[in-house]
Copies of this chain bind each other. A is one copy, B any other.
């Protein structure tokens, strides 16, 4: 399919090339809820062995999971999120907040992520501007501004033409 991969410089396109598949995203959500074993992913997600195996292998390939022998000498493995994988917390947090706001209309369950050093839970997580002020999500406007690149400006103006 090669979705919009005309643009190899777009971080989102590249990221979605790795993650942008329905099952992969659900597997990662499951991982953030604490699941680590093959059989548990299989049962919770009701996904076929075949597909699960492929997706997990792919994510290990991409460095999102590590496969760890959990001490049962081949009879039991664990898929653990790497730093790269855990860093997707932000993506899933954003997704969860969106769903809470627009699908449910309330705040809901957090995920199980903690700071290893302090031991304190990384919650609640909020998405803010760099200066700490919240984003006025209901009053946003799309147009090019000071931060826009030449490529963006070009595309923008092309969109305005007939």
Which A residues lie at the B interface, using CB under 8 A? 1, 3-4, 6, 9-16, 18-23, 25-26, 29-37, 40, 44-47, 63, 76, 80-81, 83-84, 86-104, 108-110, 112-117, 120-130, 132, 135-149, 151-152, 155-156, 158-159, 162
Contacts and interface: CB of A to CB of B under 8 A. Distances in A.
Nearest to A81: B142
Contact of A22 (B1, B114, B155): B1
A112 B4 contact: no
Contacts of A40: 158-159
A45 B5 CA distance: 8
In the complex this chain forms, how many copies of it are found?
2
A13 to B, nearest CB: 7
A112 B159 contact: no
A141 B116 contact: yes
Contact of A4 (B26, B110, B147): B26
A67 to B, nearest CB: 16
A76 B136 CA distance: 30
